[in-house]
Structure 1
């Protein structure tokens, strides 16, 4: 780790499913001489790509866990995180982008900007990550990279500017024209490792000049020197142009677009050049922490290796040698033998073994300095913990964790499986904040919750393989919610007289629907009708009712409770009495406020060949879906819809049979909406049956 901080790049590779992220990473590792042979994601040799080190990833041909690696190119050190594309593993993308300085957004030249590209782009916006775009698969039939550039502008609102134009498309894709140097690049040799530089072909000269004009125009906004040179028609050096584009990229005002085909080994090296020339080094990015001693005031961190240490644990993995904690050092240096403090728990930690990751292989190192990503062994912590020097009390802001939307009951086969299952669940819920587990009070079943069917499938399969825990799964459960639809008043007196002092408390007020929040408590009591010390007890009593709604025992959301009157007794009133009075008042007011059930609605995007468009729309309508729109893009058509999650179980099998396996869909949580009356009655019937079977 001897490079200066200007020569470090921390980048992520993110995209929609099957855009070629892992294949691109494999080529990058090959050209930077980190690996000596190329293996493909679903290759015939059965080895699988380097970054898909998990057996399940090799079998399914998808990325499940983000994997870190590093390589060197043009005297720059590049730390790369390859992230999954499925929305079920969205937390992997989220936590990777949280610690990265820049990203490559990979797009398919046929599919263009797809539903998951939009989600990934929103995540980049959330963490203000500058990115460059790479339009992959220019060798596929139907490839049209300039349509994708247009979509980047229209659908994602990027100021997308082509840095290259392709030399030939589809089967005739040979290379690219570099619009900065105005040279044509061809990639010779078995693996495209030899770059041949030639003059721009005559046939492409006019298009190249036109696209270069657009590039100069966009870049001139970020450099007065470049603007002057254009106006005076002076020669424009490559350094001047690259400098202006870099400035625009770092401000997220320009998205430079590169083209090629990773699978056919075309144009990956110019993309690597772009990473070193255009994406930020750690000191270009302003990172902030919150000072816990100063009421969470924001503090700017410096990338100085000599400053006091601030580091963030962003991902946990259970390796064969114990817990492996991926860490990004923002300030200072973490060295072997140092003592740091975990800000969340206040516990001191002595740093033992430090490693650098290359997929699932590791290399011991003596220290991790500011700007680097590495990993620690044997440290007990949670994902999102901050480590600092003893005299600092700073914490990094945590990342956004979406709520789980689907639950399954799991039952172990025997006693041994039960012990292994609990070990597995402990580890998985610690590693993945979107994976939750709890025991149902009603049925006594172990319930696991996650982001989708595939998410839970993968974890059940991992239990079988990694922990030898054979489990059977129950019916999927949907995270329903209850809420109220109108204002209602309550006036409840709690009286209990036993020997000695009794209990007395009266609570009066009203409740009404609340938009955009789960619960709000407002105290409007005047004249001491309820003594001030008992107000928190009233709030606690109301809050305790939210976990199980009186209607069907689902969690309650969207309720505002206002108390404006009450009564207390000088002897018999207590915290307990007012908590009980609040509970009674809630039950009284809730049933008068016309409670309804809400269900999670998913945003579903189906990509299908045009001839199956009608059948797919029909299948979504049957599932209470609402078609939001459809776009035809060449031979394919994308149908966007909103469908209740309860209707989406097993949809992948239905879709495959409808379209001969040619369609795919992505789904992510959109909102909660009221359940139709007939469905609400069915849910109520099911709940009754469940209760009877438990009784």
Structure 2
């Protein structure tokens, strides 16, 4: 199929939105998405050999951290020219930590290719991705990889896919090609509809039988075709192709194609031309989009959305935008709803680290905008239309407490974190008011590693990670009394203040101060001073340095001096009295408890329930969370949730999700509290 591939150095362009194809590659980590993307680019002529564009420069847009971790960590765009179409191929990260980029790609695309490894075709992660695209009604084809593995039989893999993804209709998962496999190598294939051959398929004895099965499956979804087929009429290829496209757009059929990387860096990638032909002929254009986003009209007011933000060492900030309506041109002034106006400088078509200038972007196209200052990932750029709804972001629930390594790093840290959050909406930065820690909230360990690496390698800011602190509290477990005496005599005015306090627990009541002084033992003007001193001591704690809450403090008696008493003296006396009450009584540590909701496939419910119990969790109940899914509600101490995003992912094989909300502080078990009683 090399005669079809157009080698090009300029950005691929089209002048009609119906010739655009926006396709997202999704798949579990290790399924081979990025290899398939490179194979498609090689076949389309965008690469002259694996990893190299026609002018000889590298097309890899993966940072060093990605090579170290052997996984895609950010959304990548490959614009390809095939036949008379421009195919915007979006390679979405497979790892669950970067689900926000995958959601962005799903927003930008009209169809998906689910990349499935033949060695593990229905892994938990693959099934979760399938549920996601089906929930969005996104037309989806399936690309099979790793067919060279030992003991892989294509018929068996296809049957497994039909059982898992057929949703009760196995024929909805269609084999469009008969593929020739020999000694684990994919040699070529035959298109069952057109009879076109790819590669070196040789003699495939089941083509006629498989074609009959395919025609029956397609005709079975179309009443007019079915009537002709039952009447014995030979159905023409054009009618079958039109029916296949209608059914694919409706989500009632899911073509399956076998793929393999090229045998050598400059060779043909088996299955790539077949997939590109399918995308050009069958996949939807932006005109086929059937959701509530703006209509694909080149003359309408412009509405675009930023789906990814990156940085170029020479250009600065680069914003990848999907144009939904209108035509985007350089020098246009656009509005960010709720924000400021942005002037669009040059437009470019990205390919790896290259930026190829383009004169305009049609509705439905993807384009890079340079040097936007205010707009962030997820923001809408408009000429007066309303803001588009952002796509769902994964909750950042894994904390990393950091501190600047040096004064120079500290001076740059705040600004740098602002730039990172502009690029990565999944990253949340918090200056915790209770623990005074700077906390980077990430979606998982891989996300955390990428954020820390970008701080160091991209911006030259070094930070040290420190133990994350949970905001504990102290309280009185029983009533106690304290006597505060602050008497000092020196030349001139001295200091004189004495007060007696009773402290009682007040569960859930915060703080209450009661005045029961009689006979003016403490003058009225000094009673607020006692309360102020008590409040200051409560903020610092009395046992382990944690704030004290949920107490009633009653001022019962005291003494004053006509000359030496003062506001400061009674503040000190109040604090001393509270500390003595603590020494005389029993102090209890309180820990935060969160309300947790866990959404996961039914098969992992038992393991998750057992794990929550081991975390001192109190399970409130379970309920259906959708087809094949369970929703578990529980109350769990925050101390047990610090690494829960990582551990839930392990238990549920990457398919579980959870959310949490602070509920209350509750008494900590004494054996656990003993570990924290000497904290500062």
TM superposition score normalised by structure 1: 0.67
Structure 2 CA distance for partners of 1:490 and 1:138, relative to 1, 3 Å? closer
The 3-state SS of whatever aligns with 2:251 is coil
The 3-state SS of whatever aligns with 1:228 is helix
The residue number in structure 2 matching 1:344 is: 338
The 3-state SS of whatever aligns with 1:132 is strand
1:96 to 87, 105, 111: 105
Residue 178 (structure 1) aligned with residue 191 (structure 2):
yes
Q: Deviations over 1:541-573 (max 9, x none)?
A: xxxxxxxxxxx99xxxxxxxxxxxxxxxxxxxx
Aligned residues of 1:331 and 1:371 also touching (Cα < 8 A) = yes
The residue number in structure 1 matching 2:280 is: 276
Structure 2 CA distance for partners of 1:415 and 1:646, relative to 1, 3 Å? closer
- Aligned-pair distance for 1:479? 11
Q: Deviations over 1:385-443 (max 9, x none)?
A: 22222xx3322121111211210111221011223333332122221121111112223
- Aligned-pair distance for 1:172? 4.6
The residue number in structure 2 matching 1:135 is: 144
The residue number in structure 2 matching 1:475 is: 467
Residue 436 (structure 1) aligned with residue 436 (structure 2):
no
Aligned residues of 2:17 and 2:362 also touching (Cα < 8 A) = no
Residue 381 (structure 1) aligned with residue 393 (structure 2):
no
The residue number in structure 2 matching 1:31 is: 43
- Distance (whole Å) between structure 1 residues aligned to residue 57 and residue 128 of structure 2: 27
2:404 to 385, 404, 412: 412
Structure 2 CA distance for partners of 1:419 and 1:664, relative to 1, 3 Å? farther
The unaligned stretches of length 5 or more in structure 1 are 41-46, 187-195, 290-300, 481-488, 501-551, 554-590, 608-615, 627-639, 656-662
The residue number in structure 1 matching 2:70 is: 61
- Distance (whole Å) between structure 1 residues aligned to residue 514 and residue 662 of structure 2: 39
- Aligned-pair distance for 1:63? 0.8
- Aligned-pair distance for 1:117? 1.7
Aligned residues of 2:190 and 2:201 also touching (Cα < 8 A) = no
The residue number in structure 2 matching 1:466 is: 458
Structure 2 CA distance for partners of 1:445 and 1:166, relative to 1, 3 Å? same
The unaligned stretches of length 5 or more in structure 2 are 1-12, 264-268, 473-506, 516-522, 526-545, 548-587, 618-629
Structure 2 CA distance for partners of 1:105 and 1:416, relative to 1, 3 Å? same
2:364 to 349, 371, 387: 371
The residue number in structure 2 matching 1:319 is: 312
Structure 2 CA distance for partners of 1:283 and 1:685, relative to 1, 3 Å? same
- Distance (whole Å) between structure 2 residues aligned to residue 272 and residue 266 of structure 1: 11
The 3-state SS of whatever aligns with 2:669 is helix
The 3-state SS of whatever aligns with 1:461 is helix
Structure 2 CA distance for partners of 1:176 and 1:415, relative to 1, 3 Å? same
The 3-state SS of whatever aligns with 2:232 is coil
- Aligned-pair distance for 1:155? 3.5
The 3-state SS of whatever aligns with 1:175 is strand
Residue 396 (structure 1) aligned with residue 384 (structure 2):
no
- Distance (whole Å) between structure 2 residues aligned to residue 149 and residue 476 of structure 1: 48
- Aligned-pair distance for 1:688? 4.6
Aligned residues of 1:166 and 1:260 also touching (Cα < 8 A) = no
The residue number in structure 2 matching 1:514 is: none
Aligned residues of 1:327 and 1:373 also touching (Cα < 8 A) = yes
Which deviates more, 118-127 or 406-415? 118-127
- Aligned-pair distance for 1:327? 0.8
The 3-state SS of whatever aligns with 2:107 is helix
Q: Which has the larger radius of gyration?
A: 2
- Aligned-pair distance for 1:368? 1.1
Q: Deviations over 1:195-229 (max 9, x none)?
A: x475x43xx32xx4443343223211443442233
- Distance (whole Å) between structure 1 residues aligned to residue 334 and residue 108 of structure 2: 20
- Distance (whole Å) between structure 2 residues aligned to residue 493 and residue 112 of structure 1: 59
Residue 302 (structure 1) aligned with residue 295 (structure 2):
yes
Q: 1:499-514 counterparts in 2 under 5 A?
A: none
Residue 237 (structure 1) aligned with residue 236 (structure 2):
yes
1:11 to 7, 23, 33: 23
Aligned residues of 1:405 and 1:449 also touching (Cα < 8 A) = yes
The 3-state SS of whatever aligns with 1:181 is coil
- Distance (whole Å) between structure 1 residues aligned to residue 467 and residue 390 of structure 2: 33
1:681 to 666, 669, 675: 669
The alignment's C-alpha RMSD in Å is: 4.5
Structure 2 CA distance for partners of 1:238 and 1:650, relative to 1, 3 Å? closer
- Distance (whole Å) between structure 2 residues aligned to residue 377 and residue 220 of structure 1: 49
The 3-state SS of whatever aligns with 1:168 is strand
Aligned residues of 1:406 and 1:479 also touching (Cα < 8 A) = no
- Aligned-pair distance for 1:333? 0.6
- Distance (whole Å) between structure 1 residues aligned to residue 360 and residue 331 of structure 2: 10
- Aligned-pair distance for 1:32? 1.0
- Aligned-pair distance for 1:336? 1.1
Q: Deviations over 1:498-528 (max 9, x none)?
A: 999xxxxxxxxxxxxxxxxxxxxxxxxxxxx
Which deviates more, 162-171 or 598-607? 598-607
The 3-state SS of whatever aligns with 1:472 is strand
The residue number in structure 2 matching 1:266 is: 270
Structure 2 CA distance for partners of 1:680 and 1:131, relative to 1, 3 Å? farther
Aligned residues of 1:338 and 1:351 also touching (Cα < 8 A) = yes
Q: Deviations over 1:460-487 (max 9, x none)?
A: 122121122222212357899xxxxxxx
Structure 2 CA distance for partners of 1:493 and 1:479, relative to 1, 3 Å? closer
- Distance (whole Å) between structure 1 residues aligned to residue 510 and residue 602 of structure 2: 49
Q: Deviations over 1:307-327 (max 9, x none)?
A: 221111222123332321111
Aligned residues of 1:138 and 1:169 also touching (Cα < 8 A) = no
The 3-state SS of whatever aligns with 2:654 is strand
The residue number in structure 2 matching 1:105 is: 114
The 3-state SS of whatever aligns with 2:394 is coil
The 3-state SS of whatever aligns with 1:337 is coil
Q: Deviations over 1:280-334 (max 9, x none)?
A: 0010113424xxxxxxxxxxx3322122211112221233323211111111111
- Aligned-pair distance for 1:127? 3.4
Aligned residues of 1:15 and 1:120 also touching (Cα < 8 A) = yes
- Aligned-pair distance for 1:11? 0.8
The residue number in structure 2 matching 1:44 is: none
Structure 2 CA distance for partners of 1:227 and 1:157, relative to 1, 3 Å? closer
Aligned residues of 2:29 and 2:95 also touching (Cα < 8 A) = yes
- Aligned-pair distance for 1:354? 1.2
Structure 2 CA distance for partners of 1:49 and 1:356, relative to 1, 3 Å? closer
- Distance (whole Å) between structure 2 residues aligned to residue 257 and residue 304 of structure 1: 33
- Aligned-pair distance for 1:39? 3.8
The residue number in structure 2 matching 1:251 is: 250
TM superposition score normalised by structure 2: 0.68
Aligned residues of 2:14 and 2:20 also touching (Cα < 8 A) = no
1:354 to 347, 352, 366: 347
The 3-state SS of whatever aligns with 2:416 is helix
Structure 2 CA distance for partners of 1:477 and 1:254, relative to 1, 3 Å? farther
Which deviates more, 229-238 or 177-186? 177-186
The 3-state SS of whatever aligns with 1:666 is coil
Aligned residues of 1:623 and 1:648 also touching (Cα < 8 A) = no
